[in-house]
């Protein structure tokens, strides 16, 4: 790659410290290798601060420069809690019913993106390659271009992109989607998202479609493509082999020696379909008496964004559901559901995956879903568990050897779980091997490299176009 790498994401992390997976690992590792700049929000909220303003801080973390800005309370509430998490997050997860369109958040979203652009522009060098992440910062390149920045810029959307008819419910959809043309490259998680994008630009934005991956609008050509994100397989395998994970797996296996364990690990978010999953599990117990006193679901729901009403609702629903199942089906020596609303230490997570016979990853909608990939990597080759995966997770496009389910269909999901719990060893091994191969091939390093290579290629084709 030519030029310094500049990564921009709402939250940033110190790349010298062990990261909690996902984006932080991918980005931290890339930056640690080549050096570069990581820019984002500091995490500080300034009470009574002036909207649109925030102090810039730059510090050196090894080879990497970390640059952060503070947000005023007003900007934080409108940009982060408001437009990002109460409009874009629900709509992009197909939940128009939860979106707060008329709460007046949009000016705050623009203001914060402008603030980020203004502060970042001060730090940019002519040859920099800028990689912007996620829905909080969609218009960032547009704002940077307005300030005269001409660097190469790429954008990656970590969450799904819904079909045009759903996107169009956002009052500002046209402006928002047109700002993507300020980038040279836009990346999505899945082919389904990519299809939604090209349908949108054709029908709503009226851009010219050059080919399946190139679109022109107002004189700018954008390349768009699916880059399914992966996990750091080596790091996760190491974590799974380490003492702490082995200990957890050992204890769980001992405790549940006569039971069949199912595991779900999710952030407590309505997109993850946790209540639907628990209802499917109840259906399993209702329909199959042989599963009573046997199948045990451990559901970890790590709290997130709890200040929003939708999260309070899902919390109450889960408390009620789990209590009712345990009351109806539990016995002196067996509780069907163990529901744990807490963050589990990352070192212990692979141990839980490994002890389970079935991994339940059944989001109603998910950009990718890394838990599905982690579950597969943590399994023992000789006696692997079975992945039950929602067809509505981006990961389903790659992980076809999982047992795919429609999470809205409690009965169908219950029957698939039943099948997973009875799957013979030979079939479990075959499926696991196929899944593992694909996850290894498309790991997080592959993802980062293919995205940055594609971004680089946009520079070369632009040079060729100018010369022609
Ligand atoms: C967004 C998109 C996309 C979960 N609970 C605990 C815990 N986790 C870890 C998992 C996994 C990560 O959090 C969750 O990643 P996901 O991919 O499943 O979901 P989102 O957080 O919604 O991420 C998603 C992703 O971005 C990347 O592009 O795949 O579609 O929504 O690593 O293991 N980790 C610990 N304790 C927990 O209790 N330590």
CATH number at residue 164: 3.40.50.2000
Ordered per-residue pLDDT tens for the chain, 468 residues: 578 999 999 988 877 776 655 677 778 777 888 889 999 999 999 999 999 999 999 999 988 999 999 999 999 999 999 999 999 999 999 999 999 999 999 999 999 999 999 999 999 999 999 999 999 999 999 999 999 999 999 999 999 999 999 999 999 999 999 999 999 999 999 999 999 999 999 998 889 999 999 999 999 999 999 999 999 999 899 999 999 999 999 999 999 889 999 999 999 999 999 999 999 999 999 999 999 999 999 999 988 755 566 678 888 999 999 999 999 999 999 999 999 998 899 999 999 999 999 999 999 999 999 999 999 999 999 999 999 999 999 999 999 999 999 999 999 999 999 999 999 999 999 999 999 999 999 999 999 999 999 999 998 777 666 666
- Using alpha carbons, list the distances in angstroms from residue 81 to 84, 85, 98: 6, 5, 13
Which of left, alpha, beta for 22 (phi over 0: left; psi -120 to 50: alpha)? left
Clarify whether residues 177 and 263 are in a common domain: no
Q: Using a 6 Å cutoff on CB, does residue 18 contact ligand 1? A: no
Clarify whether residues 53 and 70 are in a common domain: yes
In this prediction, residue 306 carries a pLDDT of: 54
Q: Is residue 34 part of a domain?
A: yes
Q: State the pairing for strand pair 386-390/208-211.
A: unpaired
* Ligand 1 closest atom vs CA 300: 38
- C-alpha–C-alpha distance, residues 107 and 172, integer Å: 11
* Atom 23 of ligand 1, nearest CA residue: 369
In this prediction, residue 45 carries a pLDDT of: 96
Q: Using a 6 Å cutoff on CB, does residue 267 contact ligand 1? A: yes
Q: Using a 6 Å cutoff on CB, does residue 371 contact ligand 1? A: yes
- The whole domain housing 214 covers 5-230+445-460
Clarify whether residues 423 and 451 are in a common domain: no
In this prediction, residue 18 carries a pLDDT of: 63
Clarify whether residues 98 and 18 are in a common domain: yes
* Sequence-distant (≥ 6) Cβ neighbours of residue 283 within 8 angstroms: 410, 411, 413, 414
In this prediction, residue 20 carries a pLDDT of: 57
Clarify whether residues 288 and 347 are in a common domain: yes
Clarify whether residues 45 and 185 are in a common domain: yes
* Atom 15 of ligand 1, nearest CA residue: 370
Clarify whether residues 27 and 118 are in a common domain: yes
In this prediction, residue 24 carries a pLDDT of: 75
Q: Using a 6 Å cutoff on CB, does residue 248 contact ligand 1? A: no
Please name which of 319, 215, 279 lies closest in space to residue 414, comparing C-alpha atoms: 279
* Ligand 1 closest atom vs CA 231: 32
Structural domain count of the chain: 2
- Using alpha carbons, list the distances in angstroms from residue 380 to 101, 241, 264, 344, 398: 47, 10, 18, 21, 21
* Atom 33 of ligand 1, nearest CA residue: 371
**Is 158 among the catalytic positions?**
yes
Clarify whether residues 145 and 13 are in a common domain: yes
Q: Using a 6 Å cutoff on CB, does residue 386 contact ligand 1? A: no
Q: Is residue 371 part of a domain?
A: yes
> What is the whole-number distance in angstroms between the Cα of residue 344 and the centre of ligand 1?
12
- C-alpha–C-alpha distance, residues 372 and 383, integer Å: 17
Clarify whether residues 434 and 408 are in a common domain: yes
* Sequence-distant (≥ 6) Cβ neighbours of residue 384 within 8 angstroms: 376, 428, 429, 431, 432
Q: Using a 6 Å cutoff on CB, does residue 395 contact ligand 1? A: no
Q: Is residue 467 part of a domain?
A: no
Q: Is residue 279 part of a domain?
A: yes
* Positive or negative torsion for Cα 102, 106, 109, 111: negative
Clarify whether residues 357 and 453 are in a common domain: no
> What is the whole-number distance in angstroms between the Cα of residue 7 and the centre of ligand 1?
20
Clarify whether residues 426 and 322 are in a common domain: yes
**Is 366 among the catalytic positions?**
yes
Q: Is residue 51 part of a domain?
A: yes
> What is the whole-number distance in angstroms between the Cα of residue 84 and the centre of ligand 1?
18
* Ligand 1 closest atom vs CA 272: 22
Q: Is residue 226 part of a domain?
A: yes
* Ligand 1 closest atom vs CA 370: 17
Q: Is residue 107 part of a domain?
A: yes
Clarify whether residues 202 and 318 are in a common domain: no
Q: Using a 6 Å cutoff on CB, does residue 229 contact ligand 1? A: yes
Active site residue: 128, 184, 366, 443, which one?
366
Q: Is residue 269 part of a domain?
A: yes
């Amino acid at each position: 790659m030519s030029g310094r790498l500049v990564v921009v994401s709402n939250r940033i992390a110190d790349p010298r410290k062990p990261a909690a997976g996902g984006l932080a690992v991918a980005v931290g590792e890339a930056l640690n290798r080549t050096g570069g700049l990581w820019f984002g929000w500091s995490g500080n909220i300034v009470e009574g601060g002036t909207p649109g303003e925030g102090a810039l801080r730059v510090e050196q973390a090894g080879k990497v420069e970390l640059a952060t800005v503070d947000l005023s309370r007003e900007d934080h509430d409108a940009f982060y809690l408001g437009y990002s998490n109460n409009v874009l997050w629900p709509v992009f997860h197909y939940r128009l019913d939860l979106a707060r369109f008329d709460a007046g958040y949009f000016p705050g979203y623009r203001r914060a993106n402008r603030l980020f652009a203004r502060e970042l522009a001060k730090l940019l060098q002519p040859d920099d390659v800028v990689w912007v992440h996620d829905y909080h910062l969609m218009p960032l390149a547009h704002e940077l271009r307005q300030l005269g920045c001409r660097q190469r810029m790429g954008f990656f959307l970590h969450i799904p992109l819904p079909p045009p008819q759903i996107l169009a419910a956002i009052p500002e959809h046209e402006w928002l989607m047109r700002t993507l043309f300020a980038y040279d490259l836009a990346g999505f998680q899945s082919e389904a998202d990519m299809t939604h994008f090209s349908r949108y630009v054709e029908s709503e934005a009226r851009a010219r479609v050059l080919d399946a991956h190139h679109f022109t609008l107002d004189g700018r050509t954008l390349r768009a493509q699916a880059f399914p994100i992966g996990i750091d397989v080596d790091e996760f395998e190491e974590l799974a082999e380490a003492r702490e994970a082995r200990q957890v797996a050992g204890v769980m296996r001992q405790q549940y020696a006569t039971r069949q364990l199912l595991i779900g690990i999710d952030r407590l978010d309505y997109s993850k379909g946790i209540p639907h999953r628990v209802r499917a599990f109840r259906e399993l117990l209702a329909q199959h008496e042989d599963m009573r006193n046997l199948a045990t679901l451990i559901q970890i729901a790590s709290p997130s964004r709890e200040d929003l009403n939708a999260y309070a609702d899902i919390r109450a629903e889960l408390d009620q559901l789990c209590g009712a199942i345990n009351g109806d089906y539990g016995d002196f020596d067996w509780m069907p559901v163990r529901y744990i609303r807490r963050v589990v230490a990352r070192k212990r997570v692979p141990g839980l995956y490994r002890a389970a016979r079935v991994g339940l990853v059944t989001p109603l909608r998910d950009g990718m879903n890394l838990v599905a990939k982690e579950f597969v990597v943590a399994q023992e080759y000789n006696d692997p568990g079975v992945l039950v995966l929602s067809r509505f997770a981006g990961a389903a496009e790659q992980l076809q050897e999982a047992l795919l389910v429609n999470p809205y269909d409690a009965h169908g999901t219950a029957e698939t779980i039943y099948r997973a719990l009875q799957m013979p060893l030979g079939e479990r091994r075959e499926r696991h091997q196929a899944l593992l191969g694909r996850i290894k091939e498309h790991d997080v390093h592959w993802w980062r490299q293919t995205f940055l290579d594609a971004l680089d290629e946009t520079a070369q084709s632009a040079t060729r176009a100018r010369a022609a």
